[in-house]
A and B are shown apart, each in its own frame.
Chain A
Amino acid sequence: MTPSRWRRARQIVQILSAIFFFALAFLTYRGFESPIPLDLYLRVDPLVAFGAMLAARAVIAALLLALAAVAFGFIFGRAWCGWLCPLGALLDWISPRAWRTAEAHKTWKRVKYVLLFVIFFAALLGNLSLMILDPITLLNRTFSSAFVPALNIVIVSVETALYPVAPPLHPLFDLIEQNWRGTLLPAHQTFYQLGWMLALVFGGVIALNWIAPRFWCRYLCPLGAVYALQAKISWLKPRAVKDCSHCAACMRVCPTNAITVTQDGFSVDPAECVVCMDCLPACPESVIAFQFGGQRSAVSGQPSAISSQRSDVDLTRRHLIGSALASVGAVALFRSAPSAARDDAWLVRPPGAQDNNFLAKCIRCAECSKICPTGVLQPSLFEAGVEGFWSPILYTRLGYCDYSCNACGQICPTGAIPPLTLEQKRQSIIGTAYIDENRCIPWASYRPCVVCEEMCPIPDKAIRLDAVDVIAPDGKKVQVQRPRVIPDLCIGCGICEYKCPLTGPAAIRVYTPMPLPPLG
C-alpha cells in the first residue's frame, strides 16, 4: 500500500468505528437483547475492565475481552487512539483548521500517567471515582444524558410544527414515530438533571483542541495512558527506513507532536504516536515506515534513527509515590465524608445495587441510564458524595422504575447492578415512599386526588385510600380520600412521585430505602 492509502485506510476505519459505536449506542433504545454486546466498547476498554476488577476484587467475565485489547496494545501501541477510539475520531474531526505546531506544554504529557496511576491506586483501595475520565464512559454519558434528550426535543418540535402543514412529510414522521421510537430513539422524551453539565464538560474536551490538537488524548486521557505505556514496548513502531533529509515535514503534520526532527536525526516518541500515519504521505522521500519488529534496522549500515526509548517526560519514582499518596488521601477523605457516615435521603440506587458494594463496581459508564426507558436513572450530583459523582441514581421526579422492566441489571457490564430476573426485581426494595401531608392535595387542600394510588403497580397496592369526612375552610363537610403508604409493600419504584400532579417537589417522595423488620 502506498503511504497515502495507509492514511486513507486509517480514516475509513476511524469513520466505521465511530459509526459502529454510535449505532450500538442508538440501538440500546431497543432493549438489552442484542446479537452484538451493546457495551462492546466498554468490554474492550482495559482501563475500566481492570479498574473494576481491581476495585471489586473479582474477575468479571464479561470484561475479559479487554485482554484482547491488552494484546492489541502490545502489538500496535496506541493504534486504538488513532484508529478505533470514537472520542479520538470526534477530536480529529472537530478541530481548528490550522493546527499550531508549537508545543508549550511538554510536561503536561505526564498528567495522563499521573491520572492513570491515581486511578490504579484508588482502584486498589476499592474506589472508581475517576472512571468518569474514561473516554468511552465520557461519550456514553454525554450521549445518553445530554445529546439524545436534546436531539429528541428537536425532532418532536419539528414534527409538531410541520405535522399540520406538511402532509407529504407524514410518512417520514410515521417512520420516525412508529419504527424508530423505542428502537433507535427513546420511547419518551426524557429530562436529565445534569444534561447541561455533561454537555459543557464534553464541549470543554472538544474545545481543548484549540489549545493543541488532540489535547485530551495527549495530556489527559487515562485510557490513552494505558496504551502509551504499552506502546513503549510495542511491536509496531514507526521508523526511518532510509536516509532522512531532516526537512521536518512529518513533524509539522503530526497531530500529537510525537515526532522530533533535529540535525541529529528523526525520532518518534511511541507513547505519543497514535499510528495515524499522517506522516507517511507527508514525507517527500518516503523515509518513514511502520514496521513490526524489535531493534533491527531496515537500512543496512545505517543506524536506525529511531530511539524508541526516547521520552521527554519519563516518569519518576516521585510520580508513582505522589499518585499513591494522592489516592490514599482522596479515598480517605471520601470515607470520612458525610456520605460515608449516612446515606443521603435521595440516594435511591438502581434495583439490587444498594447493598452490592456498588461504588467499587460501578464504572460510571451510563449504560444503565441509556437503556432505562423512563429516564429515571441519571448521573448523580453529590447524592452519593463526591466519591459517587456521576454514578447512577434514580431521580424519581423525572421518571420511575417501571414494574415491567429489568433492563439496567441486564446491561450493566460490571454487575454493579445485579442481573435480576423480573420477578426478583419486583421484590427488590430500591427505596421507600413517604407522603408529605402538608402538601398532598386531599390532605392539605380538601380536593380529590388519587393519582399515586391509581399508578401504584404493586398488585395489592402499596398506597391505599382512606375516605375521611373533613370540614373544608368554607365550613362545608366534604369527603376526601387520603392516600397512605403501606411501607411493607412499597418497593420505591417512584411512579407515585413521578405522576404526582403537584408542581415542584411531589407530595409523595421516594427516599433511600428504610427496610424494617416485619410487624409483630
Chain B
Amino acid sequence: MTEKRNSVVGHRSSVKELKMLSRREFIRRSILYSLALASGNALASCAPPAPTATPLPPTSAPTIAPTATALAPTAAPTATRVVNVTAVPLPTMTATPAAPIAGEPYLAVARGASPAAITRAVVDALGGIKKFVKPGNDVIIKPNICNAQNTFEYASTTNPEVVAELVKLCLEAGAKRVRVMDQPFSGTATAAYAKSGIRDAVEKVGGEMEVMSSAKYVTVNFPATARDLKSWKIYQDILKADVVINVPIAKHHGGAKLTLAMKGLMGVITNPGGIHTALDQRIADLNTVIKPTLNIIDSVRALMNHGPTGGNLRDVKMMNTLIASHDPVATDAYAAQILFDKKPQDIAYIKFGAEMGLGRHDFGNVRIKEVTV
C-alpha cells in the first residue's frame, strides 16, 4: 500500500517535474539561443574590417598628367561603382557637394578678426546658406575635435565660434536638426567635446553634440575610382544626413604634411590608424565615397608644427582666415598655398585627389571670391 502510494506520488511528481522542466528548459534555451546570437554578433562586430588588397603605396610619382576632365569637378561617381561581393552592399551618401551655379565663385576666402563674422561671410560669398541647407534638412557638422587635452587656443581643434555660427546659419535656413560630431583619437568624446569649448558653443545656439556610437558604423564598398581602399567602415549617419559640412582646422601633420579637409574625413571611419600604411592614397580614396556638401577650412588659428596633437602656443599662428568650397581638393590646395606656403602637388593626397578627378588643385580659370570683414 505504502509502496503503491509512493509510486503514485513519485509518478505525479515526475510528471510535474517533466512539465516544469520543459518550461524551464524553454526559457533556458531561449536565453541560451539569444545569448549565442548576441555573442555571435558581438564577435562579428569585433572582427576587423575586410582586409584590403594592396597596402603597398605608390613609390614613384604616378605619370597621369592632370587633364581637362580631371580638372572638372565631378558630380556623380556612383555610376561606375563596382560592388565587392564579400562586403555588404551599401547606401551611397545622401549629401552631395553643392557645386557653384550661374557665376557663383568656386572657392571663397574670408578674412577678419571675428570668427563668427567671417564664417557668415564665407558662406554668403558662396551663395548663402540657403544654397546648401534646405528647410527640413538633417544637418551634420563635422569639425576636427582631436583630443581631450587642449582648448581651442592650441589650434588642435576647430574654432568653437566658427562651428557655433555654422549651427546658427543652418538653423536659420530651416534645418530640422543640426548635429555636431567627431571621433577624437585620444580621450573620450565627451571629455574632448567639453575641453574644446565646442559643446558649450554649439548647445548654446541650439545644436546637438552627438557621441559617435560604435554600433553605427557600416561597411561601405568603394567605387572603382578608389585606387587602394576596397571597403571600410563609415559612420552611417554621415552617409544618411541631407547635408554634411566638413569644418577641419588647418594643421601640420608629420606623415601627410598637412591635415585639412580631405584628411579630416578620417574622423568618420573606424580604425583610422589602419589606413596609415598608404595614408595619402587612402585619404584620397575616402573622398570618393564621403563627399560633404561644403568644406570650410578653419584657419582662424593654424597649427604650424607638432601637429596634429599640438600643445604649444608657440606653434600656433593667428591667420583669421576661412577657406570654403564644395570641392575639398580645392580648399586643401588653396590652404596649402596661402597658409603654409606649400605647392599643392607636393601634398601627395591633394595630388592624388586631383588625378582621380575628385576636385582641382590649380586655380587658373576659376572664380575665387575673397572678402574681408
Contacts and interface: CB of A to CB of B under 8 A. Distances in A.
Interface in A479-516: 481, 495, 499-501
B213 A449 contact: no
A460 B121 CA distance: 35
B41 A461 contact: no
A325 B218 CA distance: 61
A500 B310 CA distance: 20
B13 interface: no
A459 B274 contact: no
A443 B57 CA distance: 15
A314 interface: no
A458 interface: yes
B187 A373 contact: yes
Given A448-B277, A465-B254, A156 B57 contact: no
B276 interface: yes
Interface residues of A, number: 48
Nearest to A186: B188
A187 B59 CA distance: 39
A246 interface: no
Nearest to A501: B273
Given A157-B38, A182-B211, A404 B273 contact: no
Q: Which of A157, A178, A402, A447 has the most CB of B within 10 A?
A: A157
B148 A478 contact: no
Nearest to A162: B215
Contacts of B2: none
A161 interface: yes
B79 to A, nearest CB: 25
DSSP majority for the A interface? loop
B274 A187 contact: no
Interface stretch (B189-197, B223-231, B289-297, B317-325): B189-197
Contact of A402 (B38, B45, B148, B236): B148
Contacts of B215: 156, 159-160, 163, 173, 177
A166 to B, nearest CB: 12
A154 B311 CA distance: 38
A287 interface: no
A153 B254 contact: no
B312 interface: yes
A449 B276 contact: yes
A154 B188 contact: no
Nearest to B56: A447
B223 to A, nearest CB: 22
B210 interface: yes
Interface string B88-102: 000000000000000
Contact of B279 (A400, A448, A465): A448
A153 B42 contact: yes
Contact of A456 (B211, B213, B276, B309): B309
A481 B41 contact: no
A85 B160 CA distance: 48
B310 A450 contact: no
A153 B147 contact: no
Nearest to B275: A501
Interface string A130-142: 0000000000000
A289 interface: no
Interface in A176-233: 177-178, 181-182, 187-189
Contact of A161 (B41, B254, B278): B41
Contacts of B236: 163-164
Given A404-B147, A450-B279, A453-B254, A460 B312 contact: yes
21 contacts: A154-B42, A156-B45, A156-B214, A157-B41, A157-B42, A161-B41, A163-B236, A164-B218, A177-B211, A182-B188, A182-B211, A402-B186, A402-B187, A403-B149, A447-B57, A448-B279, A449-B276, A451-B273, A456-B309, A459-B310, A476-B59
Interface of A: 153-154, 156-161, 163-164, 173, 177-178, 181-182, 187-189, 373, 400, 402-405, 441, 447-451, 453-461, 465, 472, 476, 478, 481, 495, 499-501
Report the 10 A-B pairs with minimum CB-CB distance, sorted nearest first: A459-B311, A450-B255, A159-B215, A187-B188, A404-B149, A404-B148, A177-B213, A157-B41, A157-B42, A182-B190
